[in-house]
Amino acid sequence: MVLSDRKKCCRSYWINDCGTFKCGEISEKNCQDHSAWKFWHKRRYIVATLAFFGFFNIYCLRVNLSIAIVAMTQDRFETLENGTKVSLGPEFDWNNELQGYILSSFFYGYITTQLLGGYLAAKFGGKVIFGSGVAVTAALTLVTPWLASAHVYLLLAVRIVEGIFEGVTYPCIHAVWARWAPPLERSKLATIAFSGSYAGTVFAMPTCAYLANTFGWPSIFYFSGALGLIWYALWTVLVASSPEEDKRISKEELDYIVNSLKETTFSKNLDIPWKKILTSSAVWAIVISHFSENWGFYTLLTQLPKYLKDIHGYDLGKSGFLSGFPYLVMAIMMQFAGQWADWLRSKGILTTTQVRKIFNCSGFLAQTIFMMGAAFWSDKIGTVFCLTLAVGLGAFAWAGFSVNHLDVAPQYASVIMGIGNTIATLPGIISPILSGYIVSKPPRIMEWQTVFYISAGIYMFGAIVYGFFASGELQNWATTKDNMTKVDEEKEKHAMENKTFISDDEGL
């Protein structure tokens, strides 16, 4: 292989994050087999695709109540034989405060299992726990209409239990990526999966609105529950816990993934350095950014349909479509953000730390600006435009903090995600309740502006903290002594051969 071909091949084979590449074990054929456009030949992209649909279902199951509750509490009318319309009142006469508690009840359970899910995933892998979390939530969703009709407290209870089981899902996916994602593909693989959350939101809002108008609000829960169980069957059959356990993976891809992750140790007896994790400024930068992003996200996720209906007079169908549109923009932009972040790193244009900070902080600053724009711009088209960009530009932040766990401590990434998502769940509990108290009945535009001001301020706070304290480097406490010795011996062996490694200047 000529030097130019060798350099080209080396760019797809990453051994560590310090600019060192190992090329000798990959043939020109293998390099071609890993062409980016042949994603269906790569098992790690099959995992990413199914993880995408997993998060798609997670958010269909989560957001369905935001649409259903509008249909459940709106006035009903009956047309008499003489053509007179008679008001029957709402099927469920819940005030704004009670609706806030109902919408936030999911997160009371969701917050309790983040750490447990991360811990179990670090010990045993994420596949089974991730799939089970979605499956149980889907099954409970199927019985939600009956429970809601029986008593509001039963609705609150089932949403709390759904949150308990869905709470393990986000931490578990980082345990999957710790085994499946080569370091230079972390951003793109993770953002492919996470974008399913927003695609699911886009799909769920107009679809649930259509189902409610056409078949009645119970059909929302029957449809989303059945969809989740179908996904679980596919996930169980098609995805393995690790590349080594995948019977369909090629030898070339297996060698590529395993060798690229030589610095990472996986063990059921893994000793988790809790104190060092909890006192790490890099970890807290991730956690605070996650909290900041989720505050704006959950505020709009639970309140946007209501805002569009109350302030701008959109009916349920139109508000469902417009509420989902910002998440369509985010799902699309997230793909570009992930690809761009990995491209900047693989080309050596920016370091991992620089990529994470630039993407995260620019996303938050843009969200701050457009959230403030939504507060000041009273025109209905202008408001939707600003809110769309306030959500959509958050895709850049997800290419920052959401992947950062794998940079600083890949073998503990699910645990760190569990810590972060525990704290980042608080907005899902607090924001709907706070919004319910701020927005009176009948609602006024000034009250909704206050809701947007709060979100903008929290975005800005997240940008400042992440800009000062984030890191893209593997932390000293995240690598075991035995594993470091093994990596050092490997480097020394290839350095003596004087042909295997290509320096950063030569290779890039």
pLDDT tens per residue, range 26-65:
333 443 344 545 556 788 999 999 999 999 999 899 888 8
| Residues composing the chain | 508
The model's pLDDT over 90-131, given as tens digits with 9 standing for 90+, comes to 788 888 778 878 888 888 898 899 888 888 887 777 898 999
Position 222 confidence tier, pLDDT thresholds 50, 70, 90: very high
Give the other-Cβ count within 10 Å of 94's Cβ: 17
Collapsing DSSP states into helix, strand and coil, what is residue 425?
Answer: coil
Residue 25's pLDDT is 41
Query: Residue 98's pLDDT is what?
Result: 86
pLDDT tens digits along 154-184: 999 999 999 999 999 988 888 888 888 888 8
| Torsion of the alpha carbons at 459, 464, 469 and 471, rounded to the nearest 10 | 60
Q: Can you give the pLDDT at residue 335?
A: 83
Contacting residues for 469 by C-beta, under 8 A, at least 6 apart: 281, 282, 284, 285
Residue-level pLDDT at 32: 39
Best CA proximity match to 363, nearest among 296, 454, 271, 440:
296
Per-residue pLDDT at 79: 66
Q: Which helix (H) or strand (E) holds 378?
A: none
pLDDT at 103: 83
Residue 20 confidence class, pLDDT cut points 50, 70, 90 = very low
Tell me if 178 sits within 8 A of 411, measured CB to CB. yes
pLDDT of residue 161: 95
pLDDT value at 194 more than 80: yes
Cβ atoms of 346 and 184 within 8 Å: the answer is yes
> Do β-strands 75-79 and 21-22 pair in parallel, antiparallel, or remain unpaired?
unpaired
Confidence (pLDDT) at 241: 87
Which residues are CB-neighbours of 127 under 8 A, at least 6 positions away?
Answer: 172, 176, 235, 239, 240, 241
* Cβ atoms of 268 and 406 closer than 8 Å: no
Which tens digits make up the pLDDT trace of 423-468? Answer: 988 887 888 788 878 887 676 778 888 888 999 999 999 999 999 9
Q: Can you give the pLDDT at residue 3?
A: 34
pLDDT at residue 7 above 60?
no
Q: Tell me the C-alpha distance between 202 and 10, whole Å.
A: 39
Q: How many CB atoms lie within 10 A of CB 315?
A: 13
* Residue 265 falls in which region: left (phi positive, over 0), alpha (psi -120 to 50) or beta: beta
Tell me the pLDDT tens digit for each residue of 278-331: 999 999 999 999 999 989 888 877 677 777 777 766 665 666 667 677 878 888
Query: Is the backbone peptide bond immediately before 442 cis, with ω within 30 degrees of 0?
Result: yes
Amino acid at 230: I
Helices (H), 216-315: 218-238, 251-260, 274-278, 281-312
Burial state string for 368-397 with b = 16 or more CB within 10 A and e = fewer than 16: bbbbbbbbebeeeeebbbbbbbbbbbbbbb
Segment 220-244 mean pLDDT: 94
Give residue-wise pLDDT tens across range 345-399: 888 899 999 999 999 999 999 999 988 888 787 677 787 888 888 888 888 998 8
Q: Please tell me the distance from the alpha carbon of residue 148 to that of residue 150, in angstroms, as a whole number.
A: 5
pLDDT tens sequence across 242-277: 888 888 888 888 888 888 877 655 555 667 889 999
Distance between CA atoms of residues 419 and 401, nearest Å: 13
d(CA 248, CA 238): 9
Confidence class of residue 6 from pLDDT cuts 50, 70 and 90? very low
Residue 268 token pair: 């059921």
Question: Looking at 207-211, 321-325, 497-501, which range is the least confident one?
Answer: 497-501
d(CA 442, CA 482): 65
List, as one string, the DSSP characters of 156-206: HHHHHHHHHHHTTHHHHHHHHHHHH--GGGHHHHHHHHHHHHHHHHHHHHH
Per-residue confidence band for 83, with pLDDT thresholds at 50, 70 and 90: low
Instruction: Say how far apart CA 399 and CA 338 lie, in whole Å.
Output: 5
Distance CA 138, CA 144 (A): 10
CB neighbour list of residue 251: distance below 8 Å, 6 or more residues apart: none
pLDDT of 332 over the 60 cut? yes
Bridge partners, 151 (sequence order) = none
DSSP letter string, 290-346: HHHHHHHHHHHHHHHHHHHHHHH---HHHHHHHHHHHHHHHHHHHHHHHHHHHHHHH
Q: How high is the pLDDT of residue 1?
A: 37
**How many Cα atoms occupy the beta-carbon half-sphere of 141 within 13 Å?**
32
Per-residue exposure over 25-55, b if at least 16 CB sit within 10 Å of its own CB, e if not: ebeeebbebbeeeeeeebbbbbbbbbbbbbb
Contact 463, 361 (CB under 8 A): yes
d(CA 104, CA 125): 30
